Structures are given as C-alpha cells and as structure tokens.
C-alpha cells in the first residue's frame, strides 16, 4: 500500500514536470508571432494535451468506471456542438464565401 503511493507520487511529479515544459513551449511559440491559423492550432493542441494529462492522472480519469465516461462523453460532444454551431453562423466570413461582399466590392 505505502509502496503503491510512493510510485504514484513519482508519477504525479513526472506529470508536473511535463505540464511545466508544455507551458514554456506554448509561451515560447507565442513569441514567434506565427500566422493566426497555425498559432491557434498549436496553442489549442498544447492546451488539450495539458488538460488531458491533468484529467487522466490528477483527476484519476485513467481507469475510471464507464458511468463517468458516458456523461463526460456526452458533455464533450455537446461542448463541441455548442462551439461549432455558433461558429457556423460566421462560416461565410471565416471561409471567405460571402458572395454579396464580393459583388458589392466589384460593383462599386
């Protein structure tokens, strides 16, 4: 039992070190002033990895029961749907497919 906990503690410290390194990487990348798309992709990917490490190890999600995974899976789906559905209302603007703008620019 005591031995088990000692092993856990080492694991937690390893996760801590990884989280600190990832924090430095994401801050370092931000100083490169990359174009928006790669900057957002890298920034969010690092954030997702960090959040996953915290959830898996500190929140003991690794090896948790299915009764925790089901509601969380549904929540994750709804969270993504919430963001995507709202963003789709700006899809023309995001993907440059707003034809009326193109016409009015040409017509002026």
* Distance from C-alpha of 92 to C-alpha of 96, rounded to nearest angstrom: 6
H, E, C per residue of 30-68: HCCCCCHHHHHHHHHHHHHHHHHHHHHHHCCCCCCCHHH
Distance in Å, CB of 102 to other proteins, minimum: 17
* Distance from C-alpha of 8 to C-alpha of 103, rounded to nearest angstrom: 63
Residues in 34-73 at the binding interface with other proteins, rule: CB under 8 A: 36, 39-40, 43-44, 46-47, 50-51, 54-55, 57-60, 65-68, 71-72
Distance in Å, CB of 38 to other proteins, minimum: 11
* Distance from C-alpha of 96 to C-alpha of 89, rounded to nearest angstrom: 13
Residues that bind other proteins (CB under 8 A): 1-2, 4-6, 8-9, 12-13, 15-16, 19-20, 23, 26-27, 29-30, 36, 39-40, 43-44, 46-47, 50-51, 54-55, 57-60, 65-68, 71-72, 74-76, 78-79, 82-83, 86-87, 89-90, 93-94
């Amino acid at each position: 039992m005591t031995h088990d906990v000692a092993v856990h503690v080492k694991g937690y410290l390893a996760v801590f070190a990884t989280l600190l390194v990832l924090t430095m990487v994401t801050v370092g990348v931000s100083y490169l002033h990359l174009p928006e798309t790669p900057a957002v992709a890298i920034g969010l990917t690092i954030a997702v990895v960090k959040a996953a490490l915290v959830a898996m190890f500190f929140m003991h999600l690794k090896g948790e029961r299915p009764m925790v995974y089901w509601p969380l899976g549904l929540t994750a789906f709804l969270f993504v749907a919430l963001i995507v559905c709202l963003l789709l209302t700006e899809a023309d603007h995001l993907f440059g497919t707003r034809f009326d703008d193109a016409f009015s620019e040409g017509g002026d």
